[in-house]
Structure 1
Amino acid sequence: MVEEALGPDELDELARRAQAGDRDALEALLTAIRPRALNVCRGVLPHLPDAEDACQEALINIANKIGGWGGRGRFTTWMHVVAVNSARSTYRRMRNQATATDPQDFGPLDRPDPRTTSVIAGTRLDLLEAMETIERDHPQFVEPLLLRDVYGLPYEEIARLVGAPLGTVKAQIHHGRKLARPLLRGSE
């Protein structure tokens, strides 16, 4: 028997019940949103096992931080941000592990050059490296930029999620794009 997907109102109601301490509602909510969270994670980490790890982290974070959803916007939008952050965290962990030495002691493994790694080839390494670079000096631009340009959320929804005025969000995205362009093109 195939279960019918829950609508946004039903998910919001489950989230409210889970916030109130209903463990059954939390389990039902996590089960219902898992496919959506996995899709979000696959948008950042196309290799399925990596995306599954990030999705698992996202579901744990959602369960632990369900009280962080303010109820102003849709629960799924809040869940989307948690999943994106979990995917980015998984990417950082994987990148740090990739700097380990070769088991045959030939020296450090060569890391792919993010300026020449193709997004079309199935990796978002160049984008993620660019976001990491921008985040060091301008962390306020990263989340709005990812939510708009990678996930296509409307400006108004992003403003609600990050708790900033609409004009500020548009400016952050504009400035974030200016910072990202040269990082994505690479230097000649």
Structure 2
Amino acid sequence: MPLDETTEELARTAATGDHVALGELLRRVEPDVLRHCERLLPYRQDAEEACQDTLLAVARNIGRFEGRSRFSTWLHIVTANCARTTYRTLKRRSAEQSSDDLAEQRPDPHRVSVIAGARLDLLDAIEALEAEKPDLARALVLCDIVQLDYSDIAAQLGIPLGTAKSRIHQARKHIQASLGDGYLGR
């Protein structure tokens, strides 16, 4: 989700409390946020929900954007977190519904689409890793979902470069064990 310098400047201006800049910023980033959410979630309406959650989170938290990293990096992280939260919410709702209600819902993406099922399996594996080893999960998400380079991951997490690489490697081994040999990262 690389953003141009005008958008980066809008973000810095919005972070100072400029509501006009914030409105323009949200308008500019919405298509990129939606595309990113669509890569993570199997259904468009779920991606749209995650996109709206992301834009709301950006609007609420823009004052926390300090400009130490690029806005695009910050936005990637917020987007990935909102998509994962949407996924968890949908999964919880699905589990809470009775079996009668399940027949009326959308088909199970694990059975209908290989791509959607693989994405859901990956999100499940990341969720399990996060519960067990959150430091590894954060590094993996920044690398393989947000697609930051190693130096940006190290800076974002406040750890040495070698530690970032090690965490990503360990996380991939855990995910690979969960999913079988189908996951190798990027």
Structures share fold, TM-score greater than 0.5: yes
1:159 maps to 2:119 = no
> Which 4+ stretches in 1 moved above 6 angstroms?
116-119
Aligned to 1:103: 100
Q: Which residue of 2 aligns with 1:60?
A: 56
Partner residue of 2:145?
Answer: 150
Q: Give, in angstroms, the shift of residue 7 of structure 1.
A: 4.8
Distance 1:105 1:49 in 2: 18
1:47 corresponding residue in structure 2: 43
Alpha carbons 1:156, 1:166 under 8 Å: kept: yes
Aligned to 1:171: 166
| Distance of aligned partners of 1:105 and 1:97 in 2 relative to their CA distance in 1, 3 Å threshold | closer
Q: Which structure 2 residue ranges, 5 or more long, are not aligned? A: 182-186
In proportion to residue count, which structure has more helix? 2
Residue type matched to 1:153 in 2? L
1:1-188 alignment, distance < 5 Å: 7-99=3-95, 100-103=97-100, 120-123=114-117, 124-185=119-180
SS in 2 for 1:28: helix
Count of residues in Structure 1 that have an aligned counterpart in Structure 2: 176
Identity of aligned residues (%): 39
Q: Is the 8 A contact 1:134 1:179 kept in 2?
A: yes
Q: Structure 1 pair 117/67, CA: closer, same or farther in 2 (3 Å)?
A: farther
The 2-side partners of 1:153 and 1:41 are apart by 16
Say whether the 8 Å CA contact 1:117–1:125 is kept in structure 2.
no
Task: After TM superposition, give the deviation of residue 149 of structure 1 in Å.
Answer: 2.2
Change (3 A) 1:118 1:177: farther
Q: Is this contact kept in 2: 1:8–1:74, CA < 8 A?
A: no
Q: State the SS of the aligned residue for 2:116.
A: coil
Q: How far 1:13 moved relative to its partner? A: 1.1
Task: Give the Cα–Cα distance (whole angstroms) in 2 for the partners of residues 82 and 137 of structure 1.
Answer: 22
Q: Give the Cα–Cα distance (whole angstroms) in 1 for the partners of residues 4 and 125 of structure 2.
A: 33
User: What residue in structure 1 maps to residue 184 of structure 2?
Assistant: none
Unmatched tracts of structure 1, length 5 or more: 1-5
C-alpha distance 105-90 of structure 1, shift in aligned 2 (>3 A): closer
Amino acid at match of 2:179: L
